[in-house]
Amino acid sequence: MPLQIIDHGSIQHQQMVELRFQMLRKPLGLTFTKEDLEAEKNDMLIGFFDDGKLEGCCILTKKDAKTVKLRQMAVLSGLQGKGIGRVLMTFAENIARDRGFRKINMHARKTAVGFYEKLGYSISGPEFEEVTIPHFEMEKEL
């Protein structure tokens, strides 16, 4: 099964942090702090693996009884556009649904809005800046 829930603090979690750093933070000149990583202790950490190698990931964070926030969605640069992101999102949605959540929302990078729209997400607010780049809040009822 290429899709796995990752344990916080495991080797897979370290792999995940490295992928997220390379794909999401390093290009913006940013890093993760110890506190950032500690704060995801109770999150659902999701990875897409091929032969033990992590190729994509995302995180679900509980916001309230009905809503989870999708965060840190990333696929390795050489492997984008091959369907890994879609598979990760479907898996994340199934997990959220199984755990009783009814809505997923996110802060989507402007460059990724088209990806989420293809998967049924809608923009729900005005453009804003986060981690130095433009974002939109997006959401989908499960």
Ligand X SMILES: CC(C)(COP(=O)(O)OP(=O)(O)OC[C@H]1O[C@@H](n2cnc3c(N)ncnc32)[C@H](O)[C@@H]1OP(=O)(O)O)[C@@H](O)C(=O)NCCC(=O)NCCS
Q: Which residues contact ligand X (rule: CB under 6 A)? A: 23-24, 73-75, 80-86, 108-109, 111-112, 114-115, 118
Residue placing its CB nearer to ligand X in the complex, 13 or 19: 19
Measured from the CB of residue 61, what is the shortest distance to ligand X in angstroms?
14
Q: How many CA atoms lie within 13 A of 26 on its CB side?
A: 9
Measured from the CB of residue 107, what is the shortest distance to ligand X in angstroms?
7
Residue placing its CB nearer to ligand X in the complex, 12 or 100: 12
Measured from the CB of residue 84, what is the shortest distance to ligand X in angstroms?
4
Q: How many CA atoms lie within 13 A of 66 on its CB side?
A: 6
